């Protein structure tokens, strides 16, 4: 192939006579490429991207290598100081506009942009305190345009492409986002830049590391001040809040009210994506200065009768009080209490009890007011944020009926065909899909999160006809979609012929990507599947409604992945039929829906069998993506149950070797699900299958898992908590003003003067508020970091405990049925008899922890996890149900039964019942010849004090325990 000639304008741009001529060429190039994708392709192939990168880099007075060096970032950005109205500034601005125009051409233009230095350069320009005003909006618009088109590159990519987020939220550049959001609402430019920065967070912030960074560096606090501005503008400041402005943690003054044209939705979305899945980040947000200023904690002597509208300054009006009152907004019945729910923690949250009712922040009722008074995306984002707070246990328990009668109907209404989002002036939608489409693809996911694991809210949704509506919507996602866009026509020779292998990455176009319509349909389908899964986990009658609506075949179709050999040129048009398959996020949601439906025996044996659920799941278990493997294995667990007609297919197929391989995976999530499935497979199965599974897993691996200490990490956690408390006592001191300060870690100087801070060339007005206010104080920041680390380490430890629990459960199920004695002997032989029994004993051994900084009490007893106690005691029950020599092994072990005796009075009735079952099996007489051996075992139990503990449970409050104890006492009395 011949090298293409360089277009004249590009040649002039690469070899300019002066800055003025370069600016002229840039303007001409901008006018030529805007709206002409074919010309954009020509110029990219000819090398426009590195040329534009050179234009930006040549106007960088510092060393270009500083872009790559974090240590030199501050010096480099501060060196970027040419006058805002200079020719250099104009050249850079024209280059930025051209890059923005290229990106508008679609995802194919993203590859050369990412291959160049353009994005790091732009972020460091934006990070400069002296960034010219006219640069801010074009750069933010460019970043948002790229963020909108990233998902179009590859729908199968999971997790998302984080290249742009890694640059925007890097520690050395994230300060630019904080400074932009921290501006006061003022001229239209500052308002637009605030909303664009918030929109960028909402689109890019998907990774935990980025969410943590935004919380720690002060972006979350800056967003909270924006919320305060809206609260003030709407007149919802709590009565008496003005008297608490100077208390520790408050801003010191009210921020200016948000203008009428300001948009709340981007702010709510940005806050939600940062705090979701983390109770600690949510609490960090609720304790931020902006929220504390307008919603201080319960004011002494405040009562609902004190609420009145009164002037506060020139622009603030107090409407309703919420703190400690159920009448803000005046909805619901404070006397209604929520039923106990089978709640489970979100992926990155701790399973904790809900806080006391008085701990609810007043932002919750404020969000409910927004729900009632607003519409469109503001309404949906308010629903999403209040749902996240509710899921994290930060809303009052008696709000559930209110959510059922207010929030659920609003979300269901958004699913109706005639629902339209009104035009919002100034809304910065991506232009790829309509605002109505954007809202509808998100609403089902919000509904799913709201009703998840809450039968009362699920009932409200089902009564509101949500199942029928969602079923119809899922079917519609498979309807063929006509595509109005057509590939641009190219005449022969228009695009220069170049060998891709000889082209530099910044001159090589990327793949054409997917149609925005297809991406919307896939996201919509994913969201609908999540909602369906969240509505039917508990009730067979609701699963039946779903089946009666004919939705099961469509759920099965959603389990089919997109073919790997799909032609690239077909990706630009909608391909949403069953034969076209689904991207990874949709597969994950479909696995969740299939898992919920297979919980029903009748559904599993009829609708799911007829639709052919097994084969797609068998395929997905082998999928190359780890998350898909986990989700498919979780759904497969129900197919392996004894009543399932598909259990035989699992045993006879190639699924068992794959499950054994996954059980040894480095991923604890995949381990848990695989062991859970194997636990079901080995129940009431022939011993040869069981033995093959033990051999496939490896006896050494099983020994390692059951021998792990379930409290090793919990011990460290207790020490960390005590240390943190001690640090708080030792370092936290009140100054003369009564404010809490940190003696050893005073607030560091960020090097940014609040008084000289400029964004877009305008200085902030002299005010008590400064940029430093949006950096969390040292104590709040340390608490956020510590709790975040603790949250993740605790979740990891809980996963490790679950792996051990499922392994014990699998061993227990191997000891069931007619071949149980043979399997007990086999396990003792393979794992090691002494090692097996020692592992059981060690998991029951009481433990204490030595706490630092505690002089009055050096040791504290640690509670063995109930899951471990139940799993281990169940294994002992089955060994005791074996042969006489198996019972004798238990009794002859020096520690096993002695440690078990500590749990006869355990608070969990199932643990007490298991202890009773152990005694029953140990003293059960198989035949007359076993009488003397039974008597010896009973004597041993009496010597251990277990017989006395059995008699002490004669009046146990649990009927199950009482019946088991009655049986045990009868057997003991016979001896």
| Higher pLDDT pick, 279 / 302 | 279
**Which CATH code of 3.40.50.10190, 1.20.1440.80, 3.40.50.720, 1.25.10.10 fits the domain covering 465-485+511-639?**
1.25.10.10
Q: How far apart are the first and last CA of the chain?
A: 97
Give the pLDDT confidence of 44-58 residue by residue, as tens digits: 888 899 999 988 887
Tokens 């006058």 — which residue?
Answer: 83
For position 500, what pLDDT does the model report? 61
Is residue 321 over pLDDT 60? no
Out of 63-72, 423-432, 583-592, pick the least confident: 63-72
Position 189 confidence tier, pLDDT thresholds 50, 70, 90: confident
pLDDT, tens only, 464-488:
999 999 999 999 999 987 765 555 5
> Would you call the peptide bond into 798 cis, given omega within 30 degrees of 0 as the criterion?
no
Average of pLDDT values for 77-99?
A: 73
pLDDT band per the 50, 70, 90 thresholds, residue 100: very high
Least confident of 48-62, 86-100, 453-467, 764-778: 764-778
Q: Has residue 623 got a pLDDT over 80?
A: yes
DSSP SS3 for 146 = helix
Q: What is the pLDDT of residues 234-248, one digit of tens each?
A: 999 888 888 888 888
Beta strands in 793-952 (DSSP E): 847-850, 859-862
Q: How confident is the model at residue 776 (pLDDT cuts 50, 70, 90)?
A: low
CATH says 832-974 is which class? Answer: mainly alpha
Of 98-112, 264-278, 571-585, 796-810, minimum mean pLDDT range: 571-585
pLDDT higher than threshold 50 for residue 171: yes
Share of the chain above pLDDT 90, in %: 48
CB 209, CB 168: distance < 8 Å: no
862, 848 Cβ separation under 8 angstroms: yes
Q: CB burial class (10 A; 0-12, 13-18, 19+) of residue 204?
A: buried
Q: Around Cβ 389, how many Cβ atoms within 10 Å? A: 23
Asked if 822 contacts 687 with a C-beta cutoff of 8 angstroms, the reply is yes
Q: What is the largest CA-CA distance in the chain?
A: 111
Alpha-carbon distance 774 to 731, whole Å?
A: 22
Whether the predicted pLDDT of 739 surpasses 50: no
Q: Residue 327's pLDDT band (boundaries 50, 70, 90)?
A: very low
Residues β-bridged to residue 316? 312
Helix, strand, or coil (residue 59)? coil
- What confidence score (pLDDT) does residue 318 get? 41
Tokens of 867: 């899951």
The domain 1-206: what is its CATH number? 1.25.10.10
pLDDT, average across residues 447-459: 94
Are 172 and 243 within 8 A, CB to CB?
no
Q: Is the pLDDT of residue 337 over 50?
A: no
Q: Please indicate whether residue 570 or residue 425 has the higher confidence score (pLDDT).
A: 425
**What is the pLDDT of the chain when averaged over all its residues?**
80
The whole-angstrom separation of Cα 58 and Cα 788 is 42
Cβ proximity of 666 and 681 under 8 Å:
no
Q: Which residue has the higher pLDDT, 911 or 2?
A: 911
Task: Dump pLDDT digits (tens) for 254-273.
Answer: 999 999 999 999 999 999 99
Q: Is the pLDDT of residue 963 over 90?
A: yes
864, 710 contact by CB (below 8 A)? yes
Q: Which of 17-26, 222-231, 350-359, 585-594 has the lowest mean pLDDT?
A: 350-359
- CA neighbours closer than 13 Å in the CB half-sphere of residue 723: 11
Strands 762-763 and 758-759, how do they pair? antiparallel
Tell me which of 136-150, 277-291, 491-505 is least confident.
491-505
What pLDDT, on a 0 to 100 scale, did the predictor assign at position 4?
A: 52
The CA-atom distances, in angstroms, between 390 and each of 22, 279, 297, 365, 797 are 56, 10, 19, 12, 25
Spell 88-112 as b/e; 16+ CB within 10 A means b.
Answer: bbbbbbbbbbbbbbbbbbbbbbbbb
Assess contact for 515 and 107: CB atoms under 8 A.
no
Name the nearest CA neighbour of 172 among 294, 278, 77, 50.
77
Which stretch of 23-32, 55-64, 226-235, 956-965 has the lowest confidence by average pLDDT? 55-64
Return d(Cα 305, Cα 8) in angstroms, integer: 77
Asked whether this chain's domains 1-206 and 832-974 adopt the same fold, the reply is yes
Token readout for 605 is 């044996």
Token pair listed for 555: 């759920």
Q: How confident is the model at residue 130 (pLDDT cuts 50, 70, 90)?
A: confident
Cβ atoms of 573 and 516 within 8 Å: the answer is: no
| Environment class of 304 (CB within 10 Å of its CB; exposed 0-12, middle 13-18, buried 19+) | middle
Question: What are the structural domain ranges in the chain?
Answer: 1-206, 218-264+271-454, 465-485+511-639, 832-974
């Amino acid at each position: 192939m011949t090298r293409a000639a360089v277009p004249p304008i590009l040649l002039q741009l690469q070899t300019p006579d002066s800055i003025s001529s370069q600016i002229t060429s840039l303007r001409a190039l901008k006018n030529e490429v805007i709206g002409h994708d074919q010309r954009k392709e020509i110029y990219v192939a000819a090398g426009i991207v590195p040329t534009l990168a050179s234009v930006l880099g040549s106007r960088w007075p510092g060393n270009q290598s500083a872009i790559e060096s974090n240590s030199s970032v501050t010096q480099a950005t501060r060196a970027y100081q040419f006058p805002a109205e200079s020719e250099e500034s104009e050249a850079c601005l024209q280059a930025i506009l051209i890059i923005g125009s290229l990106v508008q051409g679609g995802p194919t233009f993203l590859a050369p942009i990412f291959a160049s230095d353009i994005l790091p350069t732009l972020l460091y320009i934006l990070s400069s305190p002296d960034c010219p005003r006219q640069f801010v909006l074009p750069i933010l618009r460019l970043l948002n345009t790229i963020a909108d088109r990233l998902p179009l590159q590859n729908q199968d990519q999971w997790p998302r492409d984080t290249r742009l987020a890694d640059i925007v939220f890097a520690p050395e550049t994230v300060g630019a986002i904080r400074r932009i959001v921290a501006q006061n609402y003022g001229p239209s430019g500052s308002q637009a830049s605030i909303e664009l920065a918030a929109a960028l967070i909402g689109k890019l912030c998907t990774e935990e590391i980025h969410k943590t960074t935004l919380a720690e560096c002060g972006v979350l606090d800056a967003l909270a001040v924006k919320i305060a501005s809206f609260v003030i503008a709407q007149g919802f400041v709590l009565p008496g809040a003005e008297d608490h402005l100077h208390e520790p943690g408050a801003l010191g003054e009210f921020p200016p009210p948000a203008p009428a044209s300001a948009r709340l939705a981007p702010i709510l979305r940005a806050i939600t994506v940062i705090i979701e899945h983390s109770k600690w980040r949510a609490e960090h947000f609720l304790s931020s200065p902006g929220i504390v200023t307008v919603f201080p904690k319960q004011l002494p002597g405040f009562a609902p009768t004190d609420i009145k509208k009164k002037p506060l300054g020139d622009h603030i009006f107090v409407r309703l009080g919420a703190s400690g009152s159920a009448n803000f907004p005046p909805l619901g019945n404070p006397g209604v209490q929520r039923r106990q729910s089978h709640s489970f923690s979100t992926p990155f949250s701790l399973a904790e009890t809900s806080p006391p009712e008085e701990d609810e922040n007043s932002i919750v009722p404020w969000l409910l007011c927004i729900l009632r008074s607003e519409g469109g995306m503001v309404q949906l984002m308010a629903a999403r944020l209040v749902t996240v707070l509710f899921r994290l246990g930060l809303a009052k328990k008696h709000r559930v009926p209110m959510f059922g009668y207010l929030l659920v109907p609003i979300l269901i209404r958004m699913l109706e065909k005639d629902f339209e989002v009104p035009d919002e002036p100034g809304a910065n939608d991506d232009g790829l899909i309509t605002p109505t489409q954007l809202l509808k693809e998100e609403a089902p996911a919000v509904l799913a999160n709201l009703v998840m694991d809450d039968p009362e809210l699920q009932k409200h949704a089902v009564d509101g006809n949500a199942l029928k509506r969602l079923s119809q919507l899922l079917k519609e996602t498979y309807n063929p979609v006509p595509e109005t866009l057509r590939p641009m026509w190219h005449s022969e020779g228009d695009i220069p012929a170049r060998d891709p292998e000889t082209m530099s990455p910044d001159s090589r176009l990327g793949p054409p990507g997917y149609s925005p319509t297809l991406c919307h349909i896939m996201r919509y389908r994913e969201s609908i599947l999540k909602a369906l899964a969240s509505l039917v986990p508990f009730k067979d009658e609701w699963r039946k409604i779903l089946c009666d609506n004919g939705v099961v075949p469509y759920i099965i179709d959603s389990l089919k992945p997109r073919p790997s050999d799909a032609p690239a040129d077909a990706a630009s048009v909608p391909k949403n039929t069953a034969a076209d398959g689904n991207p990874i996020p949709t597969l994950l949601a479909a696995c969740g829906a299939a898992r919920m439906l297979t919980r029903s025996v009748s559904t599993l044996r009829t609708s799911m069998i007829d639709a052919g659920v097994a084969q797609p799941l068998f395929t997905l278990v082998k999928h190359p993506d780890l998350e898909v493997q986990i989700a498919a294995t979780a759904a497969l667990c129900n197919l392996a149950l004894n009543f399932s007609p598909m259990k035989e297919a699992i045993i006879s197929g190639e699924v068992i070797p794959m499950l054994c391989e996954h059980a040894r995976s480095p991923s604890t999530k995949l381990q848990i699900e695989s062991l859970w499935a194997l636990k079901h497979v080995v129940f009431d199965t022939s011993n040869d299958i069981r033995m093959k599974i033990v051999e496939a897993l490896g006896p050494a691996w099983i020994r390692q898992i059951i021998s792990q200490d379930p409290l090793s990490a919990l011990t460290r956690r207790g020490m960390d908590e005590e240390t943190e408390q001690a640090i708080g006592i030792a370092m936290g001191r009140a100054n003369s003003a009564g404010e809490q300060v940190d003696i050893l870690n005073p607030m560091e100087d960020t090097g940014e003067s609040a008084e000289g801070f400029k964004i877009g060339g305008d200085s902030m007005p002299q005010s008590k508020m400064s940029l430093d206010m949006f950096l969390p104080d040292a104590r709040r920041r340390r608490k956020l970091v510590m709790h975040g680390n603790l949250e993740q380490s605790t979740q990891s430890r809980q996963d490790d405990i679950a792996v051990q629990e499922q392994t014990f459960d699998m061993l227990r199920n191997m000891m069931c049925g007619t071949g149980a004695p043979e399997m007990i002997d086999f396990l003792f032989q393979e794992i090691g008899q002494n090692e097996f029994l020692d592992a059981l004993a060690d998991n029951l051994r009481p433990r204490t922890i030595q706490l630092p900084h505690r002089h009055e009490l050096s040791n504290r007893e640690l509670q063995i996890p109930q899951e471990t106690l139940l799993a281990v005691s169940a294994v002992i029950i089955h060994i005791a149900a074996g042969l006489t020599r198996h019972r004798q092994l238990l009794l002859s072990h020096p520690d096993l039964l002695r440690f078990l005796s500590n749990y006869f009075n355990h608070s969990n009735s199932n643990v007490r019942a298991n202890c009773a079952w152990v005694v029953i099996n140990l003293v059960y007489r198989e035949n007359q010849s076993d009488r003397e051996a039974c008597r010896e075992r009973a004597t041993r139990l009496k010597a251990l004090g277990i017989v006395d503990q059995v008699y002490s449970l004669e009046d146990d409050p649990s009927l199950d325990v009482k019946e088991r104890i009655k049986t045990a006492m009868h057997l003991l009395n016979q001896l």
